[in-house]
Chains A and B, each alone.
Chain A
Amino acid sequence: MTTTFLVTSSLVKVLVILLITVGVFAPILIWAERRQSAMIQDRLGPSRAAIVLPASAVAFIDRARLPMWRLAALTGIVAIVALVTLTFVALKGSNPLPISTSSLTSSLIAFGAASVLLRAGYGMHSMIIRNSGKIMLIGLLHPVADALKFIFKEDFVPPKGDKLLFSLGPIIALIPAIGAFAVIPFASSLHWDYLDQVLPRTGEIAGLVVPLQVASLNVGILFIFAIASTGIIGAAISGYASDNKFSLLGGIRAASQMVSYEVVLGLTLVPAFMVYASLRLEDMATWQHDHVWGIFVPPLTLAAVTFVVAAIAETKRVPFDLPEGESELVGGYLTEYSGMKFGMFFMGEFVEVVSLAAIFSVIFLGGWDVPFLYRDGFEFSLPFVSASYSVPVVHWLVVAIQFGVFLFKIVALIWFQLMIRWSLPRFRYDQLMSLCWKGMLPLSLLNILAVGAFILSGWLDGWVAFFEKLF
């Protein structure tokens, strides 16, 4: 492995992660949170930000609409004909037609894609006409508008506040949130020399291996804890530096809440280390790929629930958003922040949501594992029946599917978190603390005990063997 390749691949991985977190998920989350809350509360939500098109462009779009629809229908019919022919060929086993199978396949893909794209274009154009010549994209332009506003807003610093710490606060809050992604594996490792081949299911493979993870640290999850606890400093010093009693109270609340829940957060994951016998996140994902998803191992199910509660408290979001409880503290430690500094806190919060979803899916939902997908492709099998149906898949596609499913898991978990955020009322501060120290701490300690018993008694092996027989 050359150094250049290592550096290039690492840079690409870092860029992908930055793109996913700051570039895609955070802005879309800002939109999704508002849109989703609106849907729960029978409102329309953000839909006003728009690009106004000139009248001539609108007229052109209006004229192009119908031909587009017709073309979509036409290409769609061709694609369906190709599909029917292909099915016929596949059923017959041989191809008696003058057209070769490969050209049929390529025409199916080309015409199908063209049809879908044209139909989507027709839909978009109709939407523009319906919105009287404005591109609105169901409110997706709002994050752009927000960002523009943030950038051009006055960058206010309280005159008697600590200017250095005040500016440092948002940075310390945002960077660790992104840093947590360094150890998260987003697909199984990539065998660079065999991209377009079907790999054998088991065994070592020689050649260049690219682990799809920025840093393969042997402390793994402990790195995430370490870097997440840095976020406490961000909240605390920004509260202190704001020269405002509300901010200070918010910062203190944030610090004490995060310190308390950090303890629980660590303890809830101890059962996971015990079962997977590793701290590395990629080993955890591989264990779940080989055996069974963590959430289906009984003591880990409880660990998963407690982990979600502790992690939501750690991200300081509803129902644990007391540090910024607006009815008591105006905006908590965010009170004095405006412009892009506030934007960084905001981004940090949403990146934390994404990283929480990623960590949860790696530890409890198998990470990049896709049911029935192995290194050599899909193999579907039924429980207690030896019959199976396998589809070989080339290596790059296997990795791409794994990556896509991992992203899907993250999106589903984010959706769930937003759902919690809009459904539950806020706790009182003493309730928050007693839930942590009197409820979740003993519960997670007991859970560690239970997992120990589960492993020592050999039930874990039995359970895993039972599951493997099932699938």
Chain B
Amino acid sequence: MTVEVKVIKKPGRTLAEQAYVPEIAKGLGFAMGRFFKNTFGPQAKKEIDTVKYPEEKVEYPERFRGIHRLTQRSDGSPRCVACLCCSTACPAQCIHIEPAEYEPDDPRHGYERYPSVFVIDELRCIFCGYCVEACPCDAIRMDTGMHMPPSTSRDHFIYDKETLLSIPGRDGTYLTANPRHEPGDDTHPGIDRERGH
């Protein structure tokens, strides 16, 4: 079997290239074209890649895991039922939850609990997203599209329940697209922890 060899011409040895001047003209022409396109050209044709950062921002990709938020029910209370799934799943152990029972006259009393304390230490968090995966209620999400705003104090990175509830998702809402079936709704399955199934 014969091996076919493709001979590639050595670059840079032609007379025009050795004379240097035509190559200078070519290089200058290229640079000038670029300059005019990016300085005076129409906005759409400019190829400038950098942005003026704080004034202009490049959107993070859709699945970017930003800082956490706690989603709300339609009445503004947290969707979280304090099941502790997220804090259990968290490999960095940065979530601290203290569950509490709803008031006896609340229809949710005896059916589900709520977090009286929900704290995330954003400096410990490794942004793995396991808490979001673990949550059975779609109560914790990382769809804010924001990275942590910088600060000079460690205290500012300990996000409490109110802070987490006040962060909207990327679409600007505090809810999620998943429907929630509250006790009393027609769609509510009607099961109850205390009264049995």
Contact = CB atoms under 8 A, between A and B. Distances in A.
Contact of B54 (A43, A132, A423): A132
A64 B50 CA distance: 31
A42 B55 contact: no
Given A39-B38, A43-B49, A423 B31 contact: yes
Contact of B28 (A36, A131, A423): A423
Given A424-B24, A424-B27, A419 B35 contact: yes
A414 to B, nearest CB: 14
26 contacts: A36-B35, A39-B34, A39-B35, A39-B39, A39-B48, A40-B31, A40-B35, A40-B38, A42-B34, A42-B38, A42-B48, A42-B49, A44-B51, A44-B52, A131-B55, A132-B55, A419-B32, A419-B35, A420-B28, A422-B31, A423-B24, A423-B27, A423-B28, A423-B31, A424-B27, A424-B28
B62 interface: no
Interface residues of A, number: 16
A44 B24 contact: no
A86 to B, nearest CB: 32
A130 interface: yes
A47 interface: yes
Interface of B: 24, 27-28, 30-32, 34-35, 38-39, 47-52, 54-55
Given A132-B55, A424-B24, A44 B31 contact: no
B35 A47 contact: no
A43 B48 contact: yes
Contact of B52 (A41, A42, A47, A423): A47
Given A40-B34, A40-B35, A42-B38, A419 B52 contact: no
Given A43-B50, A44-B51, A423-B30, 11 more contacts: A36-B35, A39-B38, A40-B31, A40-B34, A43-B48, A131-B52, A419-B31, A419-B35, A423-B28, A423-B31, A424-B27
B98 to A, nearest CB: 40
Contacts of B38: 39-40, 42
Interface in A127-147: 130-132
Interface in A383-431: 419-420, 422-424
Contacts of B30: 423
A393 to B, nearest CB: 31
Contacts of A36: 35
Interface of A: 36, 39-44, 47, 130-132, 419-420, 422-424
B37 to A, nearest CB: 9
A264 to B, nearest CB: 17
Q: Which one of A41, A130, A423 has the highest number of Cβ atoms from chain B below 10 Å of its Cβ?
A: A423
Nearest to A45: B50
Contacts of B39: 39
* Closest 7 pairs between A and B when the two form their complex, measured CB to CB: A423-B31, A39-B38, A44-B50, A423-B27, A39-B39, A40-B31, A39-B35
Contacts of B55: 130-132
A101 to B, nearest CB: 38
A422 B27 CA distance: 10
A41 B32 CA distance: 11
Nearest to B20: A435
Contacts of B35: 36, 39-40, 419
Contacts of B27: 423-424
Contacts of A40: 31, 34-35, 38
B191 to A, nearest CB: 52
A418 to B, nearest CB: 9
B35 to A, nearest CB: 5
B17 to A, nearest CB: 14
Contact of A42 (B24, B28, B32, B47): B47
Nearest to B52: A47
A123 to B, nearest CB: 15
A70 B34 CA distance: 36
B132 to A, nearest CB: 32
Contacts of A132: 54-55
A57 B146 CA distance: 29
Contacts of A130: 55
Nearest to A305: B21
Contacts of B31: 40, 419, 422-423
A159 B24 CA distance: 44
A306 to B, nearest CB: 12
Contacts of A41: 34
Nearest to A36: B35
A47 B53 CA distance: 10
B127 to A, nearest CB: 28
A40 B50 CA distance: 13
A47 B54 CA distance: 12
A415 B177 CA distance: 57
Contacts of B52: 44, 47, 131
A424 B29 CA distance: 11
Most chain B CB within 10 A, of A44, A130, A131, A132, is at A44
Contacts of B48: 39, 42-44
A130 B28 CA distance: 34
B42 to A, nearest CB: 15
A131 B56 CA distance: 9
Nearest to B32: A419
B28 A419 contact: yes
Contacts of B32: 419
A184 B50 CA distance: 42
